[in-house]
Chain A
């Protein structure tokens, strides 16, 4: 049998991949996809503990996280389109109107 550590380490590696994507990339859509990757790595932790503890609460959480991620995708991409319409770019170095 696979110890639960393996799933937790995999989840940690995927989460850090998403963090590196958010910190280094300048394309708003790729940053957005990195956030989805981080959400999914946390979902993996939820499902792993749900399965190893025999408790279905973790899978319910994953269900709600997916609902929130769907809402986030709709609103986030609408913001990207609104930014692109105003500035003709989605490079976040050039979208700095709120920068102090």
Chain B
């Protein structure tokens, strides 16, 4: 086993386990902390894919900004722990798990079918991957080919900011 594969498997195990722990904790703060662990492991996986810019943005924006906002709201609302999941487990949850399992089988099966022809050649990363993930290359592409979506993003963020302020305001004038 190459060292690359070992690093990938460790990070993948951490991200899957922290994801499962995230949806099974009764305390929302613990859930949020496990989600942060998941995001950091995912940033490591991005580094194995030579996507440095995306890895840094993952830690800054997701693990930093978005999760701080979520933790802030959890603590602002001062929620009590829910009942343990084992007690609130009902029959309809078996249906949910069955649906999720079927969806997993569907996705894995479609990957396996596609693997026959399309994915079979993709056993190694492209030699271009190392240059494509740098801030220089991303910035170059972002401000030339993708400049219009980039400008639209600023309008989206402005609209979201105004919407958040209006929704969270105490009463409408």
Residues of B within 8 Å of A, CB-based: how many? Answer: 83
Q: A6 to nearest B CB, angstroms?
A: 7
- Residue pair B28, A40 in contact (C-beta under 8 Å): no
The interface size bin for chain A is 35 or more
Q: Are B111 and A12 in contact (CB under 8 A)?
A: yes
Give B90's nearest chain A residue, CB to CB.
A24
A-facing residues in B141-173 (Cβ within 8 Å):
141-142, 146, 149, 153, 156-157, 159-161, 163-165, 167-168, 170
Chain B nearest CB from A34 CB (Å) reads 6
Distance between Cα atoms of A2 and B137 in the complex (Å): 24
* Chain A residues positioned under 8 Å from B119 (CB to CB): 3-5, 8
Task: Say whether, besides A2-B8, A29-B73, A51 and B149 are in contact (CB < 8 Å).
Answer: no
Prevailing SS type, chain A contact patch: helix
Say whether B93 contacts A24, CB under 8 Å: yes
Residues of A within 8 Å of B10, CB to CB, are none
> Do A60 and B142 touch (CB < 8 A)?
yes
A17 touches B45 (CB 8 A): no
6 tightest A-B contacts by CB? A54-B126, A54-B128, A71-B160, A21-B23, A23-B96, A78-B167
**Chain A residues close to B by CB (< 8 Å):** 1-10, 12-21, 23-27, 29-30, 32-34, 36-37, 40, 43-44, 47-48, 50-56, 59-60, 62-64, 66-75, 77-82, 84-85, 90
